[in-house]
Chains A and B, each alone.
Chain A
Amino acid sequence: MNASPHPTDDGDTAAKNHFVLKRRAHNLMIFELHNPSIVQLALRLKDHMAQAPNLFKNTPTVLDLAPLEDGFKVIDFPALVSLLDNHGLTIVGISGGSEAQRNAAARARLALFPAANQAPGAEPQLAPTQDAAPAKPAETTPSEAPSEVQADCASNMVMRQTVRAGQQLYARGGDLIIEASVNEGSEVIADGDIHIYGTLRGRALAGARGRKDARIWCQNLDAELVSINGIYRTRDSIEPDLIGKAAVIEIQQDKLIIRAFGFV
């Protein structure tokens, strides 16, 4: 019986020259996710990290889904990973979450850690109607899940229907063009520009991953919140005389400017 941890026959010796598998416990940062909304997170992170810039640099981090407590919430892992990456947190995997959420994470090539206080395998039950966001074509229908278009194909996203309360859209790596209205209680996000040919009543966030020259155009401004590159204004701070106008929102000298356009 050979008790040696490193067998010495020819084949294994050959492998050993190239790699060795070992276990080691690493101290990982835990990022507890309390709200999967990319917009909310982007805004909060911006505030939080502004106080302590360069605090993190490629810090290996595990995303803990347990605080969500809602296995139905669809999480846009690729968007989340790149958002956190921008802030120096390198997501290596997730812990907790429902089966659907864990499947979605696995599809995003994240490692699956067992939940902190949960035996592996004891997954919360999910109704079969719930699932992770399916891959969306460039022209999309609204879904509860944050929809997204991969940057490597068509990076602009076109939405024909009304974006309704509770829905999220994210045009990753490109512009978001919406032929209808964006209703109160919904969020539309783009790494590039956002064009809304209806009324903007919800939240719109352009230049989401850092682009000062991104803009938002809308045919009728009635927004809850607008943001470019993390600088935002809520409804309270939008000039009342611009409400109901066709407007463009842009950054000028580090300030978020809203101005009417067209035949004013």
Chain B
Amino acid sequence: MSKILVITSGKGGVGKTTTSASIATGLAQRGHKVAVIDFDVGLRNLDLIMGVERRVVYDFVNVVQGEANLTQALIKDKRIGNLYVLAASQTKDKDALTEEGVKKVLDGLKDDGFDFIVCDSPAGIEKGAQLAMYFADEAIVVSNPEVSSVRDADRMLGLLASKSYRAVNNMPSIKQHLLVTRYAPARAEAGEMMSIEDMMEILAVPLLGVIPESPAVLNASNSGQPVILDQESDAGQAYADAIARLLGEERPLRFLTVEKKGFFSRLFGN
């Protein structure tokens, strides 16, 4: 049974694509067959983060418009078997995506036996974002610890509950998760950022994880490696924890406080 997972936020630049790449990669590392789709038509991004930008021949829109089939358009990851990328088109405009077209692609992926289909949503709450979440079974709502990001996440949670295929057809609602990204413990301790407690209190959805602000993320995207592959890094480990929770395992939250440990204690764990 395929599960469609949307990574969404409302607000732009909060870490959706970073998260999509790492969640897709992490699920594939756990042995699941995974496709990750870039819904941000016109602004290719995911292929860069996944490091497949030089191998894009056909893209998502080509498949939607019947110019290529899925087999031609799916780019197989060279690091991990079972992981495929469906890139966004840089040339087509946003209206190229239709509900029917998206459904056709998702159905095709289900028929191909994918366990997880990860949809990287564009920012905003307009058509592109609505299409990315429309067929979702689960949603990871990404938010940074600041007021406007939380407000947009709240708005998106409302849309998930009312404007999705599941909502419109009175099916069990989309399972919602909150993922806090770019959390800076030092700034949180200084009271410059919203606390995780306040975010959870307002958004009232279960917390999937907290990804710390980390230079490893930029390094990773510069080298076309999803940061989850960097298991030395705090962000990579936090994403691995989030994957475990997504798969139903229990993991304590980490990286919430300012790191005061020395080199050795870090090396040998807690």
Contact = CB atoms under 8 A, between A and B. Distances in A.
Q: How large is the interface on A (under 10, 10 to 19, 20 to 34, 35 or more residues)?
A: 20 to 34
A144 interface: yes
Interface in B99-145: 99, 125, 127, 130, 134
Nearest to B134: A129
A165 B168 contact: no
B161 A129 contact: no
Interface in A127-181: 127-131, 141-145, 161-162, 164-167, 180-181
B158 A164 contact: yes
A144 B152 CA distance: 14
Contacts of B127: 127
B202 A128 contact: no
Contacts of B159: 144, 166
B190 to A, nearest CB: 22
B38 interface: no
Contact of B163 (A129, A161, A183, A199): A129
Contacts, number: 63
Q: In terms of DSSP, what is the predominant structure of the interface of chain B?
A: helix
Q: In terms of DSSP, what is the predominant structure of the interface of chain A?
A: loop
Interface residues of B, number: 23
A185 B204 contact: no
Given A162-B204, A180-B204, A183-B202, A127 B158 contact: no
Given A127-B99, A129-B168, A166 B204 contact: no
Contact of A185 (B155, B163, B201): B155
Nearest to B162: A143
Interface of A: 127-131, 141-145, 161-162, 164-167, 180-181, 183-186, 199, 201
Given A141-B161, A143-B167, A167-B162, 11 more contacts: A128-B99, A144-B162, A161-B204, A162-B204, A164-B157, A164-B158, A165-B151, A181-B202, A183-B154, A184-B151, A199-B201
